[in-house]
A and B are shown apart, each in its own frame.
Chain A
Amino acid sequence: MRPCGTYDESYAEDMAIVRTRLQWIILVVGLVLLFSLPLFVGGRWLNLLNLIGISLIAVHGLNILTGYCGQMSLGQAAFMAVGAYTSGLLTAKLGFSFWAALPCAALSAGIVGLIFGLPSLRVKGFYLAMATLAAQFIIPSLISNPLEGITGGIHSLIVPAPRVGDIACKSAQSMFYIVIPMAVLMTFFAKNLVRTGVGRAFIAIRDNDLAAEVQGVNVFRYKLLAFFICSVYAGVAGCLWAHWMRAINPSHFTLMDSIWYAGMMIVGGMGSTAGAVFGVAFLRILDESTKVFVMWLTAIFPVWGSFLQAALGPIVYGLVIILFIVLEPRGLAHRWEMFKASYRLRPFAY
């Protein structure tokens, strides 16, 4: 719904995402504030923001595949692993720079994603989710066993810090200035991709694949393209993860992590770019506050310490996702839209 008093006079105005002067001001001020954050907050917060940024990229990819194209994936973490290990090996063993390794990581993850998307020729829905589930088991197992010689297997692979000119970006601040612009850029791409013809084809496939095919959408090609884009996003996220953690291990990319990303998408609201941002921020902050809460509890009741630490996180997380699916399947994005609508219509009900 439009802000009141907005009259579009050209097609470009009609299509614009940022419509009013106030929105422009909010956007610019918001971005400036975001990028000046390292001046005000400490390393712990910056690391949380880095984590949010990296997860956001992964969830955007998943959202394009699942939320817009309607193909379920339970293997996002595995595709991240491909990206992480590609860039990790390229920089650590072959001496590539971070900036050269990033596109390679994206591409390699994309190609692996294409391979596991191939079953979409014959199957869809739940069956396709199982194909990506297979990826989730096969890829980490390949990394930790037959490729152990080069990847280090369950012993971590040490990845050098990215370099900008002569400076090695080792601190949380410097990684912040790599991760967050990347996340903003990828958000921009995700937002605009779904407004193009490709995005419309994705949505048509999601809503009814037979109808889409009858309308002339090459369903198989677009499904594969969605898989490719999704995995490219995962690859970029994995590459950033590798250079942020600077030591990667197959245990960073398990089925549980894939469920995390799917959960973030659900909580935020599928098929909404803003939803991905909401979902990632909400769950990551929830996770962090659970940790703080557990530490606080442990200080009071030391006897429970070991249980609480491991138990409370999964319980809270599982419960939040179940509650969201049952009570608000359209996620936080839908709530936000409703809030905006009621704000614009005030004092009328509709």
Chain B
Amino acid sequence: MEEVLQYIVNGLLIGGVYALIALGIVLVYKSTSVFNFAIGQMMMFGAFFLWMCVERFGLPIWAGILLALIGTLIVGLLMERFALRPLIGQPLLSAVLVTLALVYFLNGVAMGIWGAYPQALPEFLPGAPVSVGGVVFAHDLLWSFFLAMTVFVLLLLFYQRTRVGLAMRATAESHDVAQARGINVRTIFSVSWALCGLIAAVGGMLLAYRLGVSQFLSLVGLKAFPVVLLGGLDSVAGALVGGLIVGLVENLAGGLIAPWMMEITPYIILLLVLVFRPEGLFGLKRIERI
């Protein structure tokens, strides 16, 4: 019983990280209708920036985190400017394949700059694992969960309360209409990608604390794709709920059935969602009329 509780706790906590990454994807998809397959690579960049600032340049940890956030933000802006912006108005497949090609490209760049060996980050998150009645709450997972929730709330406030947020929601509704109302759609695209870079950097640093800095980090980003589809491609709340569900189910399946089930459970969920509820839990259902 305790074992099952532990799986549930771990699942929900790691689900928080998935939700965070998924938020980054949803954010970009909502306003630009591009699915960012390269978010895992952006996470990796965030983690590597932090490692480089702290271990190679000897900067204090807060400066490292700040620089990593800024660095990944710039990576996001560059991706938008040079790869995605020329594709506005092109078919969907082009945008999908460009982000996939970016996966390749960024992997190569990371390999070229930082090499292929895994690196360890210093212990920078305060606190220690908490044990409640035999169930261990890992402190780094608690931190990620807490941060994911914070980002989630901030994002909601941003969407509801700020002018840029309002403009982003308008852009998500329709590019043409937003443009006609005087919103600079290009700026909105840049802002979305920059924000996506920020979120990816946060997720990447948190995961790197747990897993170490390596190319492997980008693979965790792949877990966010089922999360996004389960929650609904354009739903911020969906990303959160989807993340928790996927984390929970994958940990239960991995613990109770077989360890390898952990890898494929998210994708089995993905297939089921596509067959039975393609718009996801909270996604907007599109109706086509002739």
Contact: A325 with B97, CB < 8 Å?
yes
Residue from A262, A266, A314 with most neighbouring chain B CB atoms (10 Å): A314
**What are the 9 A-B residue pairs with the smallest beta carbon separation, nearest first?**
A318-B105, A314-B108, A311-B112, A145-B260, A315-B108, A318-B104, A321-B101, A134-B267, A311-B111
Contact, CB under 8 Å: B278 / A262: no
Complex CA gap A125/B96 in Å reads 10
- Chain A positions within 8 Å of B105 at CB level: 314-315, 317-319, 322
Contact B263 A127 (CB under 8 A): no
* A317 and B274 contacting across the interface, CB-CB below 8 Å: no
In the bound complex, do residue A210 and residue B271 qualify as a contact, i.e. CB atoms below 8 Å apart? no
Chain B residues with CB under 8 Å of A72's CB are 92-93, 96
Contact of A311 among B98, B109, B267 (CB under 8 A): B109
Complex contacts, A144 vs chain B, CB 8 Å:
260
Cβ-defined contact, A137 with B111, below 8 A = no
B229 in contact (CB, < 8 A): yes
- State in angstroms the CA–CA spacing of A126 and B8 once bound together: 32
With A118-B275, A137-B222, A322-B102: A314-B107 Cβ-Cβ less than 8 Å: yes
Look across to chain B and name the residue whose beta carbon is closest to the beta carbon of A211.
B290
Q: Which residues between 213 and 249 of chain A lie within 8 Å of chain B, taking CB atoms?
A: 214
Question: A119 contacts the other chain (Cβ, under 8 Å)?
Answer: yes
Query: A133-B267, A256-B104 provided; 12 other pairs, C-beta below 8 A?
Result: A72-B92, A72-B96, A122-B275, A127-B274, A131-B270, A138-B267, A255-B222, A306-B115, A311-B111, A314-B104, A314-B105, A315-B105
A259 contact from B101, B268, B275, Cβ within 8 A: B101
Q: Are B112 and A141 in contact (CB under 8 A)?
A: no
Residues on the A chain within 8 Å of B94, using CB: 325, 329
Closest-CB distance, B258 to chain A (whole angstroms): 7
Q: In chain A, what residue has the closest Cβ to B79?
A: A322
> In the complex, what residues of A have CB within 8 A of residue B229's CB?
127, 130
Q: CA separation between A39 and B274, bound complex, in Å?
A: 52
Chain A 66-96 near chain B by CB (<8 Å), digits 1 or 0: 1000001010000000000000000000000
Q: Mark A297-340, 1 if CB is under 8 A from B, else 0.
A: 00000000011101111111111011001100100000000000
A122 with B274, Cβ < 8 A, contacts A66-B93, A145-B258, A210-B288 known: yes
Are the C-beta atoms of B278 and A210 separated by less than 8 Å?
Answer: no
Asked if A178 is an interface residue, CB under 8 A from chain B, the answer is no
> What distance in Å separates the Cβ of A86 from its nearest Cβ neighbour in chain B?
20
Q: CA of A249 to CA of B103 in the docked complex: distance in angstroms?
A: 23
Spell out B's residues near A (CB within 8 Å): 35, 83, 86-87, 90, 92-94, 96-98, 100-109, 111-112, 115-116, 222, 225-226, 229, 258, 260, 263-264, 267-268, 270-271, 274-275, 278, 288, 290
**B275–A321 CB distance below 8 A:** no
* Interchain CB contact under 8 A, A259 and B111: no
8 Å CB contact of A318 from B87, B102, B260: B102
Cβ contacts under 8 Å, A315 to chain B = 104-105, 108-109, 112
* Residues of the A chain whose Cβ atoms lie less than 8 Å from the Cβ of B97: 262-263, 266, 321, 325
Cβ-based interface call for A146 (8 A)? yes
Interface check A142, CB cutoff 8 A: yes
Q: How far is the CA of A244 from the CA of B90 in the complex (A)?
A: 39
A48 within 8 A of B: no
- Residues from chain B with a CB closer than 8 A to the CB of A325 are 87, 90, 94, 97-98, 101
CB-CB < 8 A to B104: which residues of A? 256, 259, 314-315, 317-318, 321
Chain A residues with CB under 8 A of B116: 306-307, 310
Chain B residue nearest in CB terms to A66: B93
A137 lies within 8 A of B264 (CB): yes
Considering the chains assembled together, what is the distance between the CA atoms of A133 and B107 in angstroms? 19
Cβ contacts under 8 Å, B35 to chain A:
126
Q: Are B268's CB and A138's CB within 8 A?
A: yes
- Residues from chain A with a CB closer than 8 A to the CB of B100 are 74, 259, 262-263
Proximity string of chain A (108-138) to chain B, C-beta cutoff 8 Å, 1 when within and 0 when not:
0000000010110111011111110110011
B86 cross-chain contacts in A, Cβ below 8 A: 326
- Shortest Cβ distance from B269 into chain A, in angstroms? 9
Write the nearest CB–CB distance from A187 to chain B, whole angstroms: 23
**Given contact pairs A134-B271, A142-B264, A310-B111, A322 touches B96 in the complex (Cβ within 8 A):** no
Complex: chain B residue closest to A315, CB-CB: B108
> What would be 16 A-B contacts, judged by CB atoms less than 8 Å apart?
A131-B271, A134-B226, A134-B274, A137-B222, A137-B267, A142-B264, A144-B260, A314-B108, A315-B104, A317-B101, A318-B106, A318-B108, A319-B101, A322-B98, A326-B87, A329-B90
Cross-chain contact A141 with B260 (CB below 8 angstroms): yes
Residue of chain B at shortest CB distance from A115: B271
Q: Which residues of B contact A262 (CB under 8 A)?
A: 97, 100
Query: Which residues from B are CB-within-8-Å of A134?
Result: 226, 267-268, 270-271, 274
Is the Cβ of B263 less than 8 Å from the Cβ of A263? no
* Centre residue among A66, A214, A329 by max chain B CB count within 10 A: A329
Separation of A314 and B100 alpha carbons in the complex (Å)? 12
Q: A137-B264, A314-B104 given as contacts; is B274 within 8 A of A131 (CB)? A: yes
Query: In the bound complex, how far is the Cα of B117 from the Cα of A306, in angstroms?
Result: 11
Determine the distance from Cα of A241 to Cα of B250 in the docked complex, in whole angstroms. Answer: 33
A313-B83 Cα distance, complex, nearest whole Å: 19
A28 to chain B, nearest CB (A): 37
Collect the chain B residues with CB atoms within 8 Å of residue A318's CB: 101-108
**What separation, in Å, do the CA atoms of A259 and B93 have in the docked complex?**
12
B213 to chain A, nearest CB (A): 16
Contacts of B90 in A (CB 8 A): 325, 329
